[in-house]
Amino acid sequence: MSNAHAENGHPLRLLAVPFTGPDGDTTGGAIVTAADTADDQKPHRELTLLLATGCAVLLSLSAVAGHLITGRAIRPALNALQQQEAFLADAAHDLRTPAASLRLLAETAMGDSTSRTAALERTVRLATRMGDLIDGLLTRARLTAGVATLAREPLRLDQLVEAVVDETPTDGHQITVDAEPVVVNADPDLLRRAVTNLFTNALTHGHAAGRPAEIELSVTPDGVLTIDDAGPGVSPDLAHSLFDRFHSGFGSTGLGLSIASWVAQAHGGTLIATGSPLGGARFTLRLPTHDR
Q: Which of 21-30, 73-82, 164-173 has the highest mean pLDDT?
A: 164-173
Q: Which of 40-44, 122-126, 224-228 has the highest mean pLDDT?
A: 224-228
- Is the pLDDT higher at 82 or at 203? 203
What are the domain boundaries of the chain?
Answer: 2-36, 42-145, 153-286
From residue 241, how far is each of 177, 192, 263 by CA, in Å?
28, 23, 17
Q: Is the pTM of this model over 0.75?
A: no
Q: What residues have CB less than 8 Å from 21, skipping those under 6 apart?
A: 27, 28
pLDDT tens profile 62-103: 888 777 777 676 776 666 667 666 666 666 666 777 778 888
Rg (the chain; Cα; Å): 40
Q: What are phi and psi of 108, to 5 degrees?
A: -65, -45
Residue 36 has pLDDT above 70, yes or no: no
pLDDT for res 178:
95
pLDDT for res 179:
94
Name the 3-class secondary structure at 239. coil
What is the band of 184 on the pLDDT scale with cuts at 50, 70, 90? very high
Percent of the chain at pLDDT > 70 equals 68
Q: Stretch 131-148: mean pLDDT, rounded?
A: 67
Helix axes 157-167, 188-205, angle to 10 degrees: 50
Q: What angle do CA 104, 107, 112 make, to 5 degrees?
A: 120
pLDDT tens profile 225-260: 999 998 888 776 665 667 765 444 444 445 678 788
What span, in angstroms and rounded, lies between the C-alpha atoms of 109 and 111?
6
Q: Stretch 256-282: mean pLDDT, rounded?
A: 88
Please say whether the beta carbons of 229 and 280 come within 8 A.
yes
Cβ neighbours, 10 Å, residue 48: 10
What span, in angstroms and rounded, lies between the C-alpha atoms of 228 and 147?
36
pLDDT for res 195:
93
Please say whether the beta carbons of 260 and 285 come within 8 A.
yes
pLDDT for res 229:
92
Name the 3-class secondary structure at 29. strand
What span, in angstroms and rounded, lies between the C-alpha atoms of 40 and 17?
28
- Helix H segments across the chain? 38-111, 116-145, 157-167, 188-205, 255-266
Sign of the Cα pseudo-torsion (32, 36, 41, 44, in order): negative
Architecture of domain 153-286: 2-Layer Sandwich (3.30)
Please say whether the beta carbons of 208 and 231 come within 8 A.
yes
Please say whether the beta carbons of 87 and 136 come within 8 A.
no
What span, in angstroms and rounded, lies between the C-alpha atoms of 181 and 179?
7
